[in-house]
């Protein structure tokens, strides 16, 4: 008797993924987050305008990538936990706390979940910070990129990033990185969402496909 | 003589022990030509749009079992609450049960809060339940309704991810329907225009997808009113036979006729009363 493989139902294998490009960069006084907007299930795009920058708190956002269900659920759970935490400490939560909550879920359910969240925000203690939480690690970085499209822009961001850029330069840097990745990665596309967080507040912007910068696009 | 019984550790959640056995049985049966029964899927076209005063949900009415149509006129638009309805694609039993469970919970929630339920609440409940079952409940849903904050439309996938959009399509015919939406959707349409657009999108799915067919059901939800139009459009009329194969009485001549009465006598008569109180 040979070992039979378990037959998988068809819809089970067609999981909805955010094959994605996400990026978060610190600048002097805050952070800028950016993402594309494409969500795919198998080979078809199911949502071409999804905002993958999800608020965890007023001045803390996270960028979603990987399995859409896992990422959305983690973001919603951490949003709830941060709400409770901020009531308990009677103050705005630290970005480090938000990142730790995300890391705790990502690490504990490492085998079951397949989502990567980049947490970025501004708090009074440390200013603008970016944390990567891939596979349950927690590391603070000057900038972080994630998603399938990030592989195409590793060289670009390494070469072009400078510490302590101005807000405008950072926004331009983020938009350029997204445009380059969306141009080369099949699983990234649509529009670009950019969120800027600094001590004065949070600004959300959406850049339509035809307004993105063009690089050698014949 | 004491028997030592060890307490078996009962793992929680789904038990997949019988899957291997089933797979082996299926392989054995296939040698004799018997096929295992397939789960009935609603290979489907469902869609929804937000228009000026509310939402319009649309669905076809074919339910398939493998390559055979199991139900020519099944209802895929399910009631969730007086102001919220949900279309379901995927495994028919899963969509039916899931929507009934959430409808029941939402009614209790509505009684507790003394308010008409919100679409976002139904969305949260559905996505949390589907995520808990990690995609094993094969229900892909289009949820729409009008509440105190306005009209809302969500698409919910079997693994638990949701999208909030002005127009959504799901099911095997979703690509055909989405093509129609991407061409003709405009924000803030009038009701008649919206109904016509949804009808055309479902028709595209019915005629271009093998898993969808039969009629088009619509559900128009506005503030304070729900129009459940079933069927809205009978897209596929059963063909009318042009000739009759019935033979008139007397076509066959009768040669002889013999009548033999069967005499039967009543042997026993007993009356059982049923307790119907």
CA pair distance B49, B166, nearest whole angstrom:
6
Assess whether pLDDT exceeds 50 at residue A3: no
Residues of chain A with Cβ-Cβ distance to B158 below 8 Å are: 11-12
- Whole-number pLDDT of residue A5: 41
**pLDDT (tens digit per residue) in B94-115:** 999 999 999 999 999 999 999 9
DSSP three-state, residue B225: strand
Domain ranges of chain B: 45-234
> Which tops the pLDDT comparison, B21 or B76?
B76
- Whole-number pLDDT of residue B162: 94
B259 burial class (0-12, 13-18, 19+ CB within 10 angstroms)? Answer: exposed
User: Is B78 in the A-facing interface, judged by CB distances under 8 Å?
Assistant: no
Give just the sign of the alpha carbon dihedral A13, B159, B11, B27: negative
Assess whether pLDDT exceeds 90 at residue B131: yes
**B19, two tokens:** 């899957």
Determine whether the interchain pair B90/A68 forms a contact, defined as Cβ–Cβ distance below 8 Å.
Answer: no
List the alpha helices (DSSP H) in B133-259: 174-184, 191-208
- Whole-number pLDDT of residue A120: 97
DSSP code, position A136: G
Assess whether pLDDT exceeds 70 at residue B220: yes
**pLDDT (tens digit per residue) in A127-148:** 999 999 988 999 999 999 999 9
Band of the pLDDT at B219, cuts 50, 70, 90?
Answer: very high
Q: From the CA of A166, how many Å to the nearest CA of chain B? A: 34
Of these residues, A20, A21, A170, A196, which one is catalytic? A20
Say which of B90, B162, B174 has its CB closest to residue A72. B162
**pLDDT (tens digit per residue) in A53-99:** 999 999 999 999 999 999 999 999 999 999 999 999 999 999 999 99
Closest CA to A56 of A113, A125, A133, A151: A133
For the question of residue A20 being annotated catalytic, the response is: yes
Instruction: Summarize the confidence of residues B156-181 as an average pLDDT.
Output: 94
Q: From the CA of B66, how many Å to the nearest CA of chain A? A: 13
Determine whether the interchain pair B163/A50 forms a contact, defined as Cβ–Cβ distance below 8 Å.
Answer: yes
What is this structure's pTM?
Answer: 0.80
Task: Calculate Rg over the CA atoms of chain A.
Answer: 18
Interface confidence, given as ipTM, is 0.82
- Give residues with Cβ within 8 angstroms of B107, minimum separation 6: B81
Determine whether the interchain pair B160/A69 forms a contact, defined as Cβ–Cβ distance below 8 Å.
Answer: yes
Assess whether pLDDT exceeds 90 at residue B11: no
Cα angle B31, B37, B42 (rounded to 5 degrees) comes to 140
> Which tops the pLDDT comparison, A214 or B9?
A214
Give just the sign of the alpha carbon dihedral B200, B201, B202, B204: positive
Closest CA to B147 of B82, B230, B76: B82
Determine whether the interchain pair B135/A12 forms a contact, defined as Cβ–Cβ distance below 8 Å.
Answer: yes
- Whole-number pLDDT of residue B57: 96
> Which tops the pLDDT comparison, A111 or B30?
A111
Chain mean pLDDT for chain A: 89
Instruction: Summarize the confidence of residues A154-176 as an average pLDDT.
Output: 95
Assess whether pLDDT exceeds 80 at residue A9: no
Does the domain spanning A19-207 belong to CATH 3.40.1160.10?
no
Q: In B32-186, at which residue ranges do the beta strands (DSSP E only) sit?
A: 41-42, 46-50, 54-60, 63-65, 68-71, 77-81, 84-91, 139-147, 150-156, 162-164, 167-170
For A46: left if phi > 0, alpha if psi spans -120 to 50, otherwise beta; the answer is alpha
Cα angle A56, A58, A60 (rounded to 5 degrees) comes to 50
CA pair distance A202, B174, nearest whole angstrom:
37
CA pair distance A183, B204, nearest whole angstrom:
32
Residues of chain A with Cβ-Cβ distance to B140 below 8 Å are: 11
- Give residues with Cβ within 8 angstroms of A8, minimum separation 6: none
Q: Of 3.60.20.10, 2.40.10.10, 3.40.50.10140, 3.40.50.10540, which CATH number belongs to B45-234?
A: 3.60.20.10
């Amino acid at each position: 008797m040979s070992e039979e493989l378990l037959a998988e139902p068809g819809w089970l294998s067609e999981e909805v993924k955010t094959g994605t490009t996400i990026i978060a960069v610190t600048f002097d006084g805050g952070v800028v987050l950016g993402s594309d907007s494409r969500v795919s299930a198998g080979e078809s795009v199911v949502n071409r305008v999804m905002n993958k920058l999800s608020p965890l708190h007023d001045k803390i956002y996270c960028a979603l990538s990987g399995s859409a269900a896992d990422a959305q659920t983690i973001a919603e759970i951490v949003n709830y936990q941060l709400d409770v935490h901020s009531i308990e400490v009677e103050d705005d939560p630290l970005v480090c706390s938000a990142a730790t909550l995300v890391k705790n879920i990502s690490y504990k359910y490492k085998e079951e979940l397949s989502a990567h969240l980049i947490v970025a925000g501004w708090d009074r203690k440390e200013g603008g910070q970016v944390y990567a939480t891939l596979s349950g690690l927690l590391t603070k970085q000057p900038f972080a990129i994630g998603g399938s499209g990030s592989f195409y822009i590793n060289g670009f961001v390494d070469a072009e990033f400078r510490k302590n850029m101005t807000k405008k330069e950072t926004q331009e840097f983020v938009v350029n990185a997204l445009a380059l990745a969306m141009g080369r990665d099949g699983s990234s596309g649509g529009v670009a969402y950019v969120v800027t967080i600094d001590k004065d507040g949070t600004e959300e912007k959406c850049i339509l496909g035809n307004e993105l910068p063009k690089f050698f696009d014949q | 003589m004491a028997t030592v019984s060890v307490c078996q550790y009962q793992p929680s959640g789904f038990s997949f022990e019988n899957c291997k056995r089933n797979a082996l049985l299926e392989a054995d049966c296939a040698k004799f030509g018997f096929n295992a029964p397939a789960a009935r899927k609603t290979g489907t076209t469902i869609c929804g749009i937000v228009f000026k005063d509310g939402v319009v949900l649309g669905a076809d009415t074919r339910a398939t079992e493998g390559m055979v149509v199991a139900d020519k006129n099944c209802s895929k638009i399910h009631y969730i609450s007086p102001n919220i309805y949900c279309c379901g694609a995927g495994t028919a039993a899963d969509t039916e049960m899931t929507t009934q469970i959430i409808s029941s919970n939402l009614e209790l929630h509505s009684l507790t809060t003394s308010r008409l339920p919100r679409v976002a609440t139904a969305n949260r409940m559905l996505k949390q339940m589907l995520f808990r079952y990690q995609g094993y409940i094969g229900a892909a849903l289009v949820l729409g309704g009008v509440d105190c904050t306005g009209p809302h439309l969500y698409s919910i996938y079997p693994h638990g991810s949701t999208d909030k959009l002005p127009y959504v399509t799901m099911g095997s015919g979703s690509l055909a329907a989405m093509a129609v939406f991407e061409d003709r959707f405009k924000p803030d349409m009038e009701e008649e225009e919206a109904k016509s657009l949804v009808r055309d999108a479902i028709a595209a799915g019915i005629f271009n997808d093998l898993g969808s067919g039969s009629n088009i059901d619509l559900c128009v939800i506005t503030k304070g009113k729900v129009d459940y139009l079933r069927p809205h459009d009978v897209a596929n009329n059963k063909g009318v036979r042009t000739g009759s194969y019935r033979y008139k009485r007397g076509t066959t001549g009768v040669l002889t006729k013999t009548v033999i009465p069967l005499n039967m006598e009543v042997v026993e008569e007993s009356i059982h009363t049923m307790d119907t109180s």
